[in-house]
Amino acid sequence: MPVTAQQVELIPLAVYTLIAVALIGGLLLAAYYLGSGKDAKDKGIAYESGVLPTGSARHASQVPFYLIAIFFIVFDVEGAFILTWATAWDLLGMPGLVHITVFICVLLLGLVWLWMKGGLDWGPSAARSGRKSSHY
């Protein structure tokens, strides 16, 4: 059976893949056989810039971090889409304007929901006034 041009083009990819798999396998085998294999109690201790850690790493966080993710979506992703729309606004015309307006309104509703849930009530000003952010 003759070799086609498409098959010839795949030969460098196949060689590269074989070399990469062989290299990774060799390094893993070398680490397995050359490693000490000993478990020391110091291996499980967190490294804190040369200082032994004290206390527990488990503490209640005052900032619900998923709210930060929502802020990221509302502001950063919205900005990326608006910038993309702005580069082609003359090509999109009135339908593009309607679409970006609906998009901004939906994200604005998300921001209002976040505000109503108390997502904006965290930080030093919330602590001074005695308010706590809701953790739903």
Domain spans in the chain, listed from the N-terminal domain onward: 1-34, 65-129
pLDDT per position in the chain (136 positions), as tens? Answer: 788 888 889 999 999 999 999 999 999 999 989 987 777 777 677 776 667 767 776 766 666 677 777 778 778 888 888 999 999 989 999 999 999 999 999 988 888 887 887 777 766 665 555 555 444 4
Question: Would you say the C-alpha torsion 10, 12, 14, 17 has a positive or negative sign?
Answer: negative
| Residue 75: predicted pLDDT | 81
Rounded Cα distance between 24 and 22, Å, is: 6
pLDDT for 136 equals 46
What pLDDT is attached to residue 64? 66
Please list the alpha-helical segments (H only) found in the chain: 5-34, 65-72, 78-87, 89-116, 124-129
Q: What pLDDT is attached to residue 131?
A: 54
Q: Is the pTM of this model over 0.95?
A: no
pLDDT of residue 96: 93
